[in-house]
Chain A
Amino acid sequence: MPEVLKAPLVVEFPFTRSLGPVQSAFLTGLRERVVLGVRTGDGRVLVPPMEYDPVTAEDLRDLVEVAPTGTVTTWAWNPAPRRGQPLATPFAWALVRLDGADTALLHALDAPGPDAVRTGMRVRVRWAAERTGAITDIACFEPYAGPDLDGREGPAAVTSEPRPHDGQFADPVTGIVAEARLDYVYSPGRAQSAHIHALADRRTVGERCPECHKVYVPPRGACPTCGVATTEQVEVGPRGTVTTYCIVNIKAKNLDIEVPYVYAHIALDGAGLALHGRIGGIPYDQVRMGLRVEPVWTDDARFPDHYRPTGEPDADYDTFKELL
């Protein structure tokens, strides 16, 4: 068995998400160092606020301001912070019920160690220096030993009773960009590894289905028709036949190929299905079904750069019609 191939794979997906009226007011409020909650039909105050009542599903619009101080309802000591988490040094995750709220908000709690944290302890918001209208405008919570009800600097004193708030701020935040990055180590499995190893020797190797005898190139380990493992390796090509093609007229981002060019399905000799490749070495408007082609390799390439005409007579339609 050849060595297992591995390569880093990074997936990034920065979703742009719009906010509803309640989320918009809450996140804009954080930017302005104001914590808003929303009152439910039965009088409870939800912080963080939701657009809909979690029990009745009613619209919720009755905003209130709560204190930036609160009480830990449960916690967990995180000795090894991970990428993206609020603090880079060991911290406690905490659910915090802010004064005036009936539900708890999840965030980090900056404390010297687990012995300094307990359920029921008093904490207050530590605001981020730069605030944009996001949950990370709260940098974290920190232990709070001062008077219970007004930990906030600023003009308005906050009492434990939530106070009505109209949710109106100048320049409200209406959306967030949710950045995300996940890192993987990709390994392609047995059949594709064998294919890639052979490509390094400039050979194209497929696998034959033991039941229907079709040769799959590139192989993926299973015959999708029969549902069995393909095991017998078969070298195909190097020459092949254009079975169908299209003319690309729009330049793709980061692609250093002049348009128009031809992208084709190419059935390599001996293969049971066509693979894709670019056709070069011939004007784009002279490419045709049945054109015989061969791969062109560039130095150090792990796969053919493109395919060019061999100069042979065109293949007869009947020889490739099953591979269209």
Chain B
Amino acid sequence: MTRDIAVVAFAQTDHRRTSDELSEVEMLMPVLHEVLERTGLRTADIGFTCSGSCDYLAGRAFSFTLALDGVGAWPPISESHVEMDGAWALYEAWTKLLTGDADTALVYSYGKSSPGRVRDVLTRQLDPYYLAPLWPDSVSLAALQAQALIDAGEADEPALAAVAARSRADADANPHAQLRGARPQGDYVVRPLRTGDCPPVGDGAAAVILAAGDRARALCERPAWIRGIDHRIEPHGLGVRDLTDAPSARLAAEHAGAYERPVDTAELHAPFSSQEIVLRKALRLGDDVRVNPSGGALAAHPLMAAGLLRIGEAAARIHRGESDRALAHATSGPCLQQNLVAVLEGDPR
């Protein structure tokens, strides 16, 4: 069964360094209300709900069950959760809609990194035998990738700085971004990456609503149709990979149909400046593609929401008529370990 499925609404919090006056559900709930309001739907009208989050970020076991309080899950709703970025929750919701079991889906994700030390927390997702006992933090692993890129002659520090500067300049127009406007590159965090090459650590949430066929047309003036979506993963051994490339991103893009026609916009989930350079090459994005007009992950990086934000931002540009065909990308794990690519289109104007 083939169905046309679209992103019909998107909402996000302001992303901030800390939100310690709010619990996770208190941070998330206004976003859920906002995204529902945009479509006029109520919880009871939603066919399927799927969320993405990670208990390790804030150190709260089963935090997603408490977050579900913000949905209003009674009478019992059809619901699922992934311990991943919300982009993968969206993937699950998309497949659910494809089966015809539901016509609408609410997808949300949230992350509160402020209570913990996120560089340490992320070491716990690594191979527990050969990597985790060394506690190699997320910036260090990204720095190994950046150095490989420099050694290969595909980037230098000014090129990395240019990515950082463009991202934060673009974020000036994004009221939700955490880092807006130019700032110095700063000192090395882990050489060759400087403060400016790294994402801000912060808290935030995002939500989108998906709808199928005529339902989507009724709920949104210009739906962002998901023409294809796919996700692929690299071998887990870092030393097995060519860190200057992202073959899994390229394969996901192929399966999502990204190369069938040019895109005008790309929202890339590149937490580090060097990773945007890897992704541009892997995804074959030319200079005519508008990359990360939202400011991207270098301007706001609420973990578990940052990938869903890319899909939401790309869809919102289509809703507003600022894009006709956009690529949205989400990543997970060290050095672009796992990659999801979605291709979104608006109806011809």
Contacts and interface: CB of A to CB of B under 8 A. Distances in A.
Interface of A: 1, 4, 6, 9, 11, 15, 17, 19, 23, 27, 46-48, 50, 54-55, 73-79, 82-86, 93-95, 97, 103-108, 114, 119, 134-136, 176, 178, 180, 182-193, 220-229
B143 A93 contact: yes
B220 interface: no
Contacts of A180: 124, 132
B23 A224 contact: no
Contacts of B239: 47-48, 73, 95, 97, 103-106
A179 B253 CA distance: 38
Contacts of B134: 84-86, 106-108, 135-136
B73 A11 contact: no
Nearest to A192: B23
Contacts of B237: 46, 48, 50, 54, 103
B234 to A, nearest CB: 9
B341 to A, nearest CB: 21
Contacts of A182: 56, 59, 116-117, 120-121, 124
Contacts of A185: 20, 115
B70 A222 contact: yes
Contacts of B33: 228
Contacts of B72: 223-228
Contacts of B74: 224-225
Given A136-B134, A227-B43, A93 B151 contact: no
A54 B131 contact: no
Given A74-B243, A191-B23, 4 more contacts: A77-B143, A82-B137, A83-B135, A221-B22
Contact of B144 (A74, A135, A192, A228): A74
Contact of A78 (B59, B68, B190): B190
Nearest to A81: B135
Nearest to A104: B239
Contact of B29 (A4, A46, A95, A227): A227
Given A76-B191, A103-B240, A227-B70, A1 B124 contact: no
B103 to A, nearest CB: 20
A106 B29 contact: no
A114 B191 contact: yes
A175 B147 CA distance: 34
A77 B115 contact: no
Nearest to B75: A225
A272 to B, nearest CB: 13
Nearest to A55: B235
A136 to B, nearest CB: 5
Interface string B1-36: 000000000000000000011111110010011000
A103 B203 CA distance: 37
A73 B147 CA distance: 10
A19 B127 CA distance: 12
A17 B26 contact: no
B133 interface: yes
A178 B128 contact: yes
A54 B131 CA distance: 17
B71 A220 contact: no
Contacts of A106: 130-131, 134, 136, 144, 238-239
Given A1-B21, A48-B237, A182-B56, A73 B148 contact: yes
B162 interface: no
